[in-house]
Amino acid sequence: MNATRVVTAVALVFTLTGHASAAGPADAPHGALSCSGCHPADRTAQTTVPRLIGRNPADIVAAMQAFKSGQTPATVMDRIAKGFSDDEVKAIAAWYGAQKD
Amino acid sequence: MAAKRTSRRQFLKTAAAGAALLPLPAIAQGAGGRVVVVGGGFGGASCARFIKRIDPRITVTLVEANPTFIACPFSNGVIAGLRDLKAQEFGYDKLAADPVVLQLSPGTAIDPQGRTVTLGNGTRLPYDRLVLSPGIDIRWDGLPGYTEAAAERMPHAWKAGEQTLLLRRQLEAMEDGGTVVMSAPANPFRCPPGPYERASLIAYYLKTKKPKSKLIILDAKDAFSKQRLFQNAWKALYPNLEWVSLSSGGKVTSVDVAAMTLVTDFGRHKADVANVIPPQKAARIAELAGVADRTGWCPIDPATFESKLQPNVHVVGDASIAGAMPKSAFSANAQAKVCAAAVAKLLAGGSPDEPKLINTCYSLVAPDYGISIVGVYRPADGQIKEVEGSTGVSALDAPSSTRALEATFANDWFKTITNEVFG
């Protein structure tokens, strides 16, 4: 009963604060919104930097781990990856994976 | 729209009846509250857009004096004749479609108690929360002899536009064999690696077009961003570039415009072309709002970017004191998104999350030679601090293929960020 009420309350808070979509900017986990400074949101963008939107979260997590360990050579991602914990990377990957165009 | 509002009201009713846990929205009137954003650069335009994306019920008004934004990043390439100023120009049409309400008039007064912004066109805008992203102003009292009139002879080109073109024309008009003298200010200032990227690209221009000329940088510092990377590159590429540090007498103490001379405690440097990058402060509107402190910059809460001096006023971008984050377009954009999320949460009566932010700054040493500095940041002890291990510059011993790749990434970054902010 209490649990149900909490769940309802959480759902209401989400609605009230505009958290209607599961993958909107309002739900972005820590750091995720910084990524789009380089990784384009726009599908038509012509850049060498890959898009993150709609990618398989497991692939993002694996890439970040490989950057962090130095297994994949990188220009900036080796340093950026070291700024995030495994849990943070997982949350960011899940959020980008859930976003649709 | 109407149906949506009804369902929200029902939720409110249910919430009031059922759950005392629910934080009540701070704003009683209007749908989601009113936010005014002053300054349409990388910080302000991003913030306006993201507030609207995060909570479409919020009415967002963007106040900006100029109908066209001229971006500073990559403007050093314009000075060196590598690109056109047009490539730096962006409009606000797409923001209007978001819809962000545009007020193309300067903010002239702010009443933080009455929560209003007055514009040059006479409009008075009430706000529930105000975001200032006004950028910088030159400290015209910061360097003896360097007045607004002096800047017409010795451009600063530290706000992109006519000043950028003026410096370019002066370089183009200079005879081969001339001397270009630059001065770089003490910290803090907009774009810490900027003076050294500019020096590199001017040196590139001189090397390719006027090889008998030389370039001197007079610096008020002994250390600067990406220093070893720049200096290694200069040694390899630009033998006619000389950097004079603070301890070698590089600090410019005054300028003599009539004599086209920059003066230090150790001597006088006559220039054929002089580029004075003067001391700076948060733009004037920050002072008018009462959010700038004695340093001239704006202290903020590191999680919400709310001013420490005035409640309900947030400051992002170059004007803010953002701890370890440099004053860069990337930082301003990242801060703006964090601030947007915080403003939306606060207006809805919630408490903002502890954020994490990234900065990435590319500099071009030559058109195909890029270097970078990055950092990941979070609030700690009331400031924005680096996450240990995340900060650093490009490898010192990287091959030319890596430098070329970073130059490509630099160009990609400019395309992507300007598209996110204005596209």
Give the closest-approach CA distance of A93 to chain B in angstroms: 15
Q: Of B19, B333, B392, which has the smallest distance from its Cβ to A79's Cβ?
A: B392
Per-residue pLDDT band for B403 (boundaries 50, 70, 90) equals very high
Nearest by CB to A18, from B56, B356, B377: name it.
B56
Q: What is the mean pLDDT of chain B?
A: 93
Confidence of residue B291 (pLDDT cuts 50, 70, 90): very high
Helix (H, G, I), strand (E, B) or coil at B225: coil
pLDDT tens sequence across B346-364: 999 999 989 999 999 999 9
Predicted local distance difference test score (pLDDT) of residue B6: 41
Instruction: Give me the pLDDT at residue A22, please.
Output: 53
A24 falls in which pLDDT band (50, 70, 90)? Answer: confident
User: Looking at CA atoms only, how far is residue B376 from chain A in angstroms?
Assistant: 5
Query: At a CB cut-off of 8 Å and minimum separation 6, what does B208 contact?
Result: none
* B42: enclosing H helix or E strand: helix B42-54
Which class is B23-135+283-352 in CATH?
alpha beta
Which chain A residues touch B54 with a CB distance below 8 Å?
Answer: 18, 24-26
Residue B253: count of CB within 10 angstroms of its CB: 13
- Provide the token pair at B120: 């040059």
The three-class DSSP label of residue B332 is helix
For residue B366, count other CB atoms closer than 10 A to its CB: 20
What span, in angstroms and rounded, lies between the C-alpha atoms of B351 and B339?
12
Q: What is the pTM of this model?
A: 0.90
> Are the C-beta atoms of residues B45 and B131 closer than 8 Å to each other?
no
pLDDT in tens, B126-176: 999 999 999 999 999 999 999 999 999 999 999 999 999 999 999 999 999
Residue type (1 letter), B169: R
More confident residue, B11 or B208: B208
Chain A with chain B: Cβ pairs closer than 8 A: 152
Of A5, A34, A41, the CB nearest to B358: A34
- Interface-testing mutation among A19, A42, A52, A79, with chain B (most B C-beta atoms within 10 A): A79
Of the partner residues B22, B32, B355, the one whose CB lies closest to the CB of residue A30: B355
Q: What number is the average pLDDT over the span B182-209?
A: 98
Please count the CA atoms within 13 angstroms of the CA of B186 that sit on its side-chain side.
10
Q: Say if the Cβ atoms of A37 and B54 lie within 8 Å.
A: no
Q: Name the residue among B258, B87, B259 with its Cα closest to residue B164.
A: B87
Under an 8 A CB cutoff, do A34 and B415 touch?
Answer: no
- pLDDT of residue B111 exceeding 50, the answer is yes
Domains observed in chain A: 22-98 (1.10.760.10)
Contact B372 A30 (CB under 8 A): no
Tokens of B281: 């402060």
Best of B54, B333, B400, B411 to substitute, by most chain A Cβ atoms within 10 angstroms, is B54
Confidence check: pLDDT of B8 > 70: no
Residues in chain B with CB shorter than 8 Å from the CB of A51 are none
Backbone angles phi and psi of B402, in degrees to 5: -70, -40
Homologous superfamily of B150-279 in CATH? FAD/NAD(P)-binding domain (3.50.50.60)
pLDDT of residue B7 exceeding 50: no
B22: closest CA of chain A, how far (Å): 6
Please spell the DSSP secondary structure of A2-36, one letter per residue.
HHHHHHHHHHHHHHHTT--STTSGGGPPTTGGGGG
pLDDT for position B30 = 54
User: A85 CA to chain B: closest CA distance, Å?
Assistant: 10
pLDDT tens digits, one per residue of B220-274:
999 999 999 999 999 999 999 999 999 999 999 999 999 999 999 999 999 999 9
Neighbouring C-alpha atoms within 13 Å toward the C-beta of B126: 5
Q: Which residues of B touch A9 (CB under 8 A)?
A: 15, 18-19, 21-22
**Residue range A90-94: average pLDDT?**
97
Residues in A 46-85 with any Cβ partner in B closer than 8 A: 46-49, 75-76, 79-80, 82-84
Q: What is the pLDDT of residue A43?
A: 86
Q: Is the pLDDT of residue B3 over 90?
A: no
- With CB atoms and an 8 Å threshold, state whether A83 touches B389: yes
Q: DSSP letters of B373-403?
A: EEEEEEEETTEEEEPTT--EE--TT--HHHH
Residue B19 has its nearest CB partner, among A9, A34, A40, at A9
Out of A34, A39, A42, the one facing B423 most closely (by C-beta) is A42
Q: Would you say B235 and B203 are in contact if contact means Cβ atoms under 8 Å apart?
A: no
In chain B, CATH 3.50.50.60 sits at 23-135+283-352, 150-279
